[in-house]
Structures are given as structure tokens and as C-alpha cells.
Amino acid sequence: MSGDDVGIIGAGIQPFGRHPGVTGLQMAVAAARAALADAGVSWPEIDFAAGGSDAAGNADTSVAMLGLTGVPFVNVRNGCATGGSALTMAHAMLRAGSADLALVVGFDKHPPGAFNPDPEDWGLGRWYGETGLMLTTQFFAMKIQRYMSEQGISSATLAEVAAKAFRNGALNPNAWRRKPLTATEILASKMISHPLTQFMFCSPGEGAAALVLARGARLRGSSRPPVLLRSVALRTRSFGSFEVFSPSIAIESAPSPTAVAAAAAFEAAGIGPTDVDLAQVQDTESGAEVMHLAETGLCQHGEQEKLIASGATEIGGRLPVNTDGGCLANGEPIGASGLRQVHEVVLQLRGEAGARQVPGRPRVAFTHVYGAPGVSACAVLSR
């Protein structure tokens, strides 16, 4: 551990799922208190905070419940990358020496059913929504449809990804979907958007996650097993990448924000994809996990068909992926998912993941989120 190191010394989560009568902000406060307790830190000691939700309010209003300490608190609203963006800011503040102890929190609370964003919030005309094009589900379906034809990925592989998620979710007491489903059941479920069936998609849901980050003496003096945040990188889309909510895309292609952010995170960490012992990648649908595995550099394009069939991405495999069940088993509270991923790898690197613990004392972990309209945050962590 060096003087520049930033580490995670506390992690807290509220169960994902549905919580009638509980507000998103109440979940955020509960997750924050859990992270503080885990770290052995009191709220007045926190000297920087960042967080957000997409649809459940402003994170900084949580100070009314946590305590009015005057802490600088930045609200983040960055789609599915909200948690990763909050983490990026906290990391930068600590690295700059502008804070010693930071709290990040992500939370959300969505009604059942697909998201229904307002086109004008995304710089698009009303016609785009009125004519039925403003759906994230369509984007993911068309992206994997194209990818399957180019890379030889089968529907059976999409089903296997979802089956793994529900198997892992069954081992996670904080997951929403805890009933294992077979690949046959997943393939036979209702078609949502070809080639993706109902159980290949995550559902908008509710939940919250929080982390306490530290540097310097506060990191070295922590009583918790240290987990270093080796790097975090945030990128938006480049010209030529294929992104959600795009009425048109360029014919020339460019690497996705996922690919650019992942490469930047690995470079900054001085750690390569082959060093990763477990990963959390955005799996808003099962095709996303397949594509993101290659975009992040964790495998080659086209390799996924064999990799997944071999069991490599299972908890006992060579590269366990989405060990807590991912978005598929936890649902997608937009603001919370990115920090849920980091919460999970913190537990795994500490050896505290219980029934879903990756064997062999994993040392290096990677997390990745992707969100509309083309934003990604990736992090490399190690113990």
C-alpha cells in the first residue's frame, strides 16, 4: 500500500427487489449506515460524498436523516453509470488529497415494467417516443442480434447466461430473483424483443448500495481487510459507436464507451484483463453480458460461445462473472446497480461472500457498467 492508494473500507447494501412503503431515500440512508458501520466510521468523519438515483430523488437530501454536518455532497444522475460516476468522483477527490474519507451511495425505486423515458430529456423529438422507438429493450435486442450474426453466438448461450445469473442469485440473500431457472425454461419464456425472451431481461426494481472510501492514514488504519480501488475510468460515446436511443448510427465504427473505459481502467491500474480473478459486467439482458465480456477485454470477440459452455464464467470457473446474480437476478434500480457490483467484489476479495464465495482467494476484480445514452464506468480492485 502506498501513499497514493485509495481503498474501500466499508460496504453496505439494502436487499434488491420491491419494498412497498419504503422510499428510495430511506433505502439509501440504510445502505449508507450499513457501509459506515462496516467501516467503523461515523458520518461526521466523512469529508466528501457523492451519489444519486435516476428516479428516486436527490442523494444529498439524505443528510436530513444522516445528519447535517455540512459535508460537500454531489448529486449524480448519469443513467446506469450513476454509481460508477459517483465512485469516479470520490476516487479523484481522495487521490487529489481533497478528502480523506468519502461516502458514495446509489439507490433507486422504479415501478414495474419497462422504462419510459421522456425523449426530450435525451435530446430527441417527441416523435421518437410516440412512434415506439424509445425503448432500451429494442437497443439491446438489435445489438445482440447483429452480434450473434457476426460472432456466431447462439440463443442457447443467451439462455445459459441467464440460468447462471439465477443460480448465483439463489445463493445471494440480497438478490431479488432467487429461484433457479433452466436454460429450457428461459428459452421458452415469453418473447420480449427478438432474440431476447422475458427471463433474459432484467426488470426495473428497487435497491441501494453504499461504500466508504479512504486514503492515507484512514486507509492504513482501517480494521477491515483492505480492498484497493486500483483505478476507475468513466467515458461517454465516441463517434461511430452503436448506442441506445440513436435514431441513426454512423456506418464507420468506433470502440464502445465500454471498450474505451475498460482499456483506460486497466492501463491506469497497471493490471491486465488476464489478471482478473472475477468480474461484474452490466447484464441488463443476457446478450449484454456476452458482448461486454469481449468489449472489456476479458475475452476475445466470438470466444464467448465456448467460454460460457465450458463453465468458465461460473462461480467455480476460471473467470467467475456476476457472482451475485447481476442485474438479471437483482433487478435494475438504475442508480444502485453500479455500486452493487463493487459491493459484491469487495465481499469476494475479503472472502466474505458466503455461499457464493469464489474459491481460491481471488486477488483482482473488475467491475463494469453501461448506460444510456452511451456512458460506461469501469473499475479495477485488488486486495
- Is 21 a binding residue for other proteins by CB under 8 A? The answer is no
- Is 247 a binding residue for other proteins by CB under 8 A? The answer is yes
Nearest CA among 99, 10, 53, 63 for reference residue 334? 53
- Is 134 a binding residue for other proteins by CB under 8 A? The answer is yes
- Is 154 a binding residue for other proteins by CB under 8 A? The answer is no
320 with 279: CB under 8 angstroms? yes
Among the listed ranges 60-68, 89-97, 108-116, 374-382, the one in contact with other proteins (CB under 8 A) is 108-116
Map residue 378 onto helix, strand or coil: strand
- Is 306 a binding residue for other proteins by CB under 8 A? The answer is no
- Is 141 a binding residue for other proteins by CB under 8 A? The answer is yes
- Is 249 a binding residue for other proteins by CB under 8 A? The answer is yes
Q: Tell the smallest beta-carbon distance from residue 143 to other proteins (Å).
A: 7
Out of 64, 97, 127, 311, point to the residue binding other proteins (CB under 8 A).
127
Q: What nine digits make up the cell of 301? A: 470477440
Task: State how far the Cα of 163 lies from the Cα of 165, in Å rounded to an integer.
Answer: 5
Task: State how far the Cα of 87 lies from the Cα of 106, in Å rounded to an integer.
Answer: 10
175 with 330: CB under 8 angstroms? yes
Q: What is the dihedral of CA 268, 273, 275, 281, to 10 degrees?
A: 100
- Is 192 a binding residue for other proteins by CB under 8 A? The answer is yes
Burial environment of residue 21 by CB neighbours within 10 A (0 to 12, 13 to 18, 19 or more) = exposed
Out of 44, 125, 152, 173, point to the residue binding other proteins (CB under 8 A).
125
Out of 58, 75, 236, 246, point to the residue binding other proteins (CB under 8 A).
246
Out of 55, 142, 188, 264, point to the residue binding other proteins (CB under 8 A).
142
- Is 117 a binding residue for other proteins by CB under 8 A? The answer is yes
Cβ contacts of residue 140 below 8 Å, gap of 6+?
A: 193, 196, 201, 244, 284, 285, 287, 288
- Is 20 a binding residue for other proteins by CB under 8 A? The answer is no
- Is 63 a binding residue for other proteins by CB under 8 A? The answer is no
Residues lying near other proteins in the complex (CB under 8 A) are found at: 113-114, 116-119, 125-135, 138, 141-143, 145-146, 149, 190-195, 239-240, 246-251
